[in-house]
Structure 1
Amino acid sequence: MFRPFELFIGLRYSRSRRRNHFISFISLISMLGVMLGVAALIVVLSVMNGFEQELRQRILGMTAHATVSNFDIRVEQWPRLADQVAGHPHVIGTAPYIEGEAIFRHGRILTGGMLYGVLPAREGQVSEVGQRMVAGRLEDLTDGGYGVVLGKALAEALGVGIGDAVDLMVPQANLTPAGLIPRLRRFRVVGVFEVGMYEYDRTQAFVHLADAARLMSLGDAVSGVRLKLDDVYRAPQVSRDLVQVLDPGYFATDWTRRHANFFRAIRTEKTVMFIILAMIVGVAAFNIVSTLVMVVTDKQGDIAILRTLGASPASIMGVFIVQGVLIGTVGTLAGVAVGVLIALNVETLVPFIERAAGFQFLPADVYYISELPSRLEITDVVRISVLAFALSLLSTLYPAWRAARIDPAEALRYE
């Protein structure tokens, strides 16, 4: 069977027991370095992909894909506006809303948050809050019932549960003979929801649209109409399309604008982490340089004999390139196997480590998400593998070039 000369000698050097065991140890360290670098890159990028996907799902579960309002932030005839935007082929759901800041009070406990007035019958068309209820139902919000649905963390901060009373104050005031009196109304807790994202669970509350309108003195007006689309990534285009057909004074915004800085920061962080962790692979690749330099020094006599037998400098380079590429390839393949295995089981491994260590890695009151999600993408695996292999190949060029420049007569002088 035909085997290239360079491949045969390179593999033979890799399998043989060297006299210098230190070189073998350095080769092993180089291989492990490549493996750890590749595995770390795959795991970290998979976790960041999981974070991005999980955050997008949770944000879009509570936030409409697009919103239509006017510059007065006061839409008088919202049914007409809802019918108008529903005519767009990519709009699959519409619902009116009222939005405003509020202060929640229970006993002596005061805390701020966002108050949303919604129609329970239509809210399910644009958000998932009705599916996230852990107590009560969103449908328990009725016109004139003055019920409120709180986020779980907000309810815990107030120390309330189903049936308890909560006073809601809005940043408006009524003018009376006694002076300005803050606008306040007592509501009864009829439900608690949990999204699993502290930003929403701690700050948001929902009441019936009519109750919110009375509390904020809006009459029949609303803040705008929220939309759900058949494809979330079409939101910018749909927003531009709607602006062209809406009456003057109306504008449309979408989730990519509201959370643009947030998702841009995630992508930037992902890029920076890739660069930083790629340096680990680079350091391991430089270890291949030192390994092959020592091998070249150790094999000077063998190289000189091969040259006297007719081996060309290019063939000598090929021998050591094969040896270095073998180290890099084995390290890369092992790193891919370990990294993929960990990335696919992160959601199982992390709770086990937390139970064993006795602490939580991501406290819910500090981080947006208290779990560690993972999403493995084949493009990341391919990109990391190609990077590791390319760095390993580049690391072999100098030692191989140095081996090709050995003068046979000089090397055999003292043999």
Structure 2
Amino acid sequence: MDWPYELQIGWRYTRSGRAGRRNGFISFISAVSMAGIALGVAALIIVLSVMNGFQKEVRDRMLSVIAHVEVHAAGDAALPDWRIVAAQARKHPQVIGAAPFVAAQGLVSHGEAMRGTLVRGISPADEASVTPLAAKLRPEMDRLVPGGWGVLLGAELARSLGVREGDKVALITPGGQVTPAGVIPRLKQLTVAGTFETGHWDYDNGLALMHLDDAARLFRVEGPTGVQLRLKDVQAARRVADELGRSFGAGYELRDWTRSNRAWFDAVQVEKRLMFIILTLIVAVAAFNLVSTLVMTVTDKRADIAILRTLGASPRSVMGVFMVQGAASGVIGTLAGVLFGTLVALHIDTIVPAIERALGVSFLPGSVYVISRMPSDPQRGDIVPIAIISLLLAFVATLYPSWRASRVQPAQALRYE
């Protein structure tokens, strides 16, 4: 197959430059440009993959505690019959689990220590079908019995209060009792039935679990204030919540996990976009190094350009020769960066520990970070745009030097040859 001569000459220029001091220097600059593009693309893929991994890790730990969708009566009143609500929700093909709950704020105190907490009343028998935490804490859940006034505390909350299993804590609830002496806060003494650790600081430091009946009595509600739902596809939570909201009608409010934790996820997305922009600038700097490489190549090849013009090559063909040379460098650098970055992202769980052992340091000490390993989740939705942007930047960088080559006049270029 006969390739266009512009492609053949451009590819030859890309591979040439080994002989001669000047040509060797141009070849070195071209190699540095390709290496810069490759490193920039690889850095972008690795950083975004690690951010995806952290986001996935935090999300999984968060969803081990909370449900995918919550159904509330309007105004957070008690549901007339939570089983009817659960049965109606189960008609949706995505819903695979349902459990009632009561949620309220309170203060937990022990001695001089006092901490604000989210108190959740649950049904131990049903909770395991909704949250993985309940399925993992079967023995502790069995200790929560109606009238036993037991409570499960997050590990960090228990440490800050200085309590262990079997100790007594006081729970102060909002809406005190009105007496002739004034409003007296309502409080109840509870027994610590155990602790749990989710790996998510917010829940480990601010969540207390009680039996549903005890929580309803304590907070003076007639029954569950909501129903938790577990879905087959966690990513479909917002769509399922909207569909169930239309089927339930105006008397109910539905909240999915993405809306309940919207501030955190919005912050992560903003950070990810900023990192993408910053690291793309690194790729842009490396890509525009091709400008200097091609300008030097055009200066060095003025005689070759003049000969091509005298043989009948058009300015457009000359421009195509140098665009092929620059584009080839961009393609090679981009492909090398994608390959290297993807390999590192896929094996970062073995690369990082090896570097830690070699340097004798720990990048994620367990005493500071909950996650003790570097997570990574390379996604096609990140890698493909990175490759496309890198190729576009490399192509744009070839335009000016190629146009300059097309403007070379044969007579002037050969005058001193």
The alignment's TM-score, normalised by the length of structure 1, stands at: 0.89
In 1, are the aligned partners of 2:10 and 2:325 still within 8 Å (CA)? yes
Shift of 1:254: 2.2
Mapped to 2, the partners of 1:67 and 1:169 lie a distance apart of 25
Q: Structure 2: where are the runs of 5+ without partners?
A: none
**What SS does the aligned partner of 2:64 have?**
helix
Q: Structure 2: which amino acid aligns with 1:330?
A: I
Q: How does 1:316-355 map to 2 (within 5 A)?
A: 316-353=318-355
Is the Cα contact below 8 Å between 2:110 and 2:168 reproduced in 1? yes
1:85 equivalent in alignment to 2:89: yes
Percent of paired sites with the same residue: 49
1:126 aligns with 2:127: no
| Structure-1 residue corresponding to 2:389 | 387
1:137 alignment partner, SS class: helix
Rounded Cα–Cα distance in structure 2 between residues aligned with 1:300 and 1:164: 88
SS at match of 1:288: helix
Range moving further from structure 2, 221-230 or 333-342? 221-230
Matched with 1:9 is: 9
Assess if the C-alpha contact under 8 Å between 1:37 and 1:281 holds in 2. yes
Q: In the TM superposition, what are the counterparts of 1:2-401 in structure 2 within 5 Å?
A: 2-13=2-13, 14-17=15-18, 18-20=20-22, 21-75=24-78, 76-133=80-137, 137-176=140-179, 179-218=182-221, 220-246=222-248, 249-353=251-355, 356=359, 358=361, 360-361=363-364, 372-401=374-403
CA drift of 1:120 comes to 0.5
Amino acid at match of 2:275: M
1:243-288 deviations in whole A, cap 9, x for unaligned? 4454763332322332334334433433333233222211111110
3-state DSSP class of the match of 1:221?
Answer: coil
Change (3 A) 1:5 1:93: same
TM-score by length of 2: 0.88
Question: What runs of 5+ residues in structure 1 fail to find an aligned partner?
Answer: none
1:237 CA drift (Å): 4.2
| Structure 1 letter corresponding to 2:384 | V
Tell me the CA shift for residue 98 of structure 1. 0.9
Q: CA separation in 2, counterparts of 1:246 and 1:328? A: 56
Per-residue CA deviation, residues 104-125 of structure 1 (Å, 9 max, x unaligned), is 2223222211111101000112
Deviation at 1:291, TM superposition (A): 0.7
Give the partner amino acid of 1:312.
Answer: S
Contact 1:71–1:249 at 8 Å: present in 2 too? yes
Structure-1 separation of matches of 2:266 and 2:89: 29
Q: 1:386 deviation in Å?
A: 2.0
Change (3 A) 1:413 1:248: closer
Instruction: Give CA deviations for 1:145-164 in whole Å, capped at 9, x if unaligned.
Output: 22211212222222222223
Q: Residue 200 and residue 350 in structure 1: after superposition, are their counterparts in 2 closer, same or farther (change >3 A)? A: farther
Deviations 1:186-242 (A, max 9, x none): 222222222211111111110111121222232x32222222233334434443444
Q: Report the Cα distance in structure 1 between the residues aligned to 2:352 and 2:186, rounded to whole angstroms.
A: 47
Report if aligned partners of 1:132, 1:194 keep a CA contact under 8 Å in 2: no
The answer as to whether partners of 1:196 and 1:370 remain within 8 angstroms in 2 is: no
Shift, 1:82, TM fit: 3.1
Deviations 1:161-202 (A, max 9, x none): 222322222223234465433222222222222221111111
Aligned amino acid, residue 16 of structure 1? G
Per the alignment, do residues 377 and 242 of structure 1 end up closer, same or farther by CA in structure 2, a change over 3 Å counting? closer
Q: Identify which range, 238-247 or 17-26, moves more after superposition.
A: 238-247
RMSD (Å) for aligned C-alpha atoms: 2.7
